[in-house]
Structure 1
Amino acid sequence: MSHYVDGFLLPLASEKLAEYQQMANKAGAVWKEHGAIAYWECVGDDLDIQDMTSFRTSAGCKDNETVVIAWIVYPSREERDRINALVMADPRLADMCDKDNPPFDFKRMAYGGFKSIVRYE
């Protein structure tokens, strides 16, 4: 059985990293509780590789921003759809961040679902 992965790329103001990390910790617990296999959130560290497109460029970062990449692994696309419906209805998710001052701009986040084609563990 192949897994299904939701992937995220977003710019994050460096001063909001601690706030974002708290939100991500709570979100990860909610996703896992509803059936996700894995939940990863990673902040940029070594991003400016010579002769390659920078993650900062891809994420549209401003001077004071870094990059977060994240992914959630599911057993299948069908399970992803079922799990995400449960997560979006979970009141804990709605209470995670201040809607008037979110830790990042949701409109600048890249998101997509991916079929796995190679997997080593």
Structure 2
Amino acid sequence: MAFYTGSLAPVPTANKDAYLDHARRAWPLFRDRGAVRMVETWGEDVQPGKHTDLLRAVEARDDETVVFSWIEWPDQATADTAWQEMSSDPDIGAQMGEMPFDGPRMVFGSFSTLVAEGTDRDAGYYQGFVIPVPAGSKAAYADVAKGAWEEMFRPNGCLGTFENWGEDVPRGKRTDFYRAVDARDGEVIVFSWTAWPDRATCDAAARAMMEADGEMPEMPFDTQRMTWGGFSTLFDSARAG
């Protein structure tokens, strides 16, 4: 199963093109070390929350946009080796170029595939999620995610849903995934996304699901601390070649 490096970054909105150029330069460095794919998505519908949200997760300022990104690897060993090589390469900074955002506020971690249904290839829009799940609720969470795909997402035009379980999620000095969802002891970070053809399909599906009759399943996590947002595709190495 695929293994992912997931990240959130606060990017000055005026630096959108510069960030895209940065992603294009970075991709060959990851590809040459075994990465399968890199996807960068630009915040389009990221709202403030009552308790947690993706804006506060990276201390985003009014003139910044949240970017939700992942690098796909064939396995954890390949990912770990690549990051070790890059961290010890004295020339990597020059190859990557200047970062068009505040690196110390970026959050990141490593995640293994828990649920993968459908596809996220050729998606124009994503909903990205960061969720605190009790470690003992892993199987229950997977069951709920699979049920949501079959009963709600797929029938309403979703292309795919991908749920990824935290394996190596570091603590940060200023920001990290744990702070993003106010994680408690014994909780694991889940980094996930649903893929859609476009925002209109996603928004229509959300309305349909809100209006649908039927009892919602009990969630095996604290939904009040889940964070999410809507993102458009900015860079997808599968399209870039």
Bin of the TM-score, shorter chain as denominator length: 0.7 to 0.9
Q: 1:17 aligns with which of 135, 138, 160?
A: 138
**Which stretches in structure 2 are left out of the alignment for 5+ residues?**
1-121
* Separation in 1, partners of 2:222, 2:157: 27
- Relative to its length, the structure with more strand (as a share) is 2
* Separation in 1, partners of 2:212, 2:148: 10
Task: Calculate the TM-score normalised by the size of structure 2.
Answer: 0.43
Count of matched residue pairs: 116
* Separation in 2, partners of 1:11, 1:74: 24
Q: Which has the larger radius of gyration?
A: 2
Instruction: Please give the residue correspondences for 1:3-14 in structure 2 after superposition, counting only pairs within 5 Å.
Output: 3-14=124-135
1:79 aligns with 2:196: no
Aligned residue for 1:48, secondary structure, equals coil
**Which stretches in structure 1 are left out of the alignment for 5+ residues?**
none
Q: Which structure has more RCO (C-alpha within 8 Å, separation ≥ 6)?
A: 1
Other-structure match for 1:59: 181
* Separation in 2, partners of 1:22, 1:118: 31
* Separation in 2, partners of 1:96, 1:115: 29
Task: Calculate the TM-score normalised by the size of structure 1.
Answer: 0.80
Instruction: Please give the residue correspondences for 1:1-121 in structure 2 after superposition, counting only pairs within 5 Å.
Output: 3-29=124-150, 30-48=152-170, 53-91=175-213, 94-97=215-218, 102-121=219-238
The residue type paired with residue 189 of structure 2 is: V
The residue type paired with residue 195 of structure 2 is: V
RMSD: 2.4
Matched-pair contact (CA < 8 Å) for 1:10–1:68: yes
Cα separation, partners in 2 of 1:50 and 1:88, compared to 1, 3 Å: closer
Q: Structure 1 residue runs of 4+, over 6 Å off? A: 49-52
State percent identity of aligned pairs: 26
1:16 deviates by: 1.4
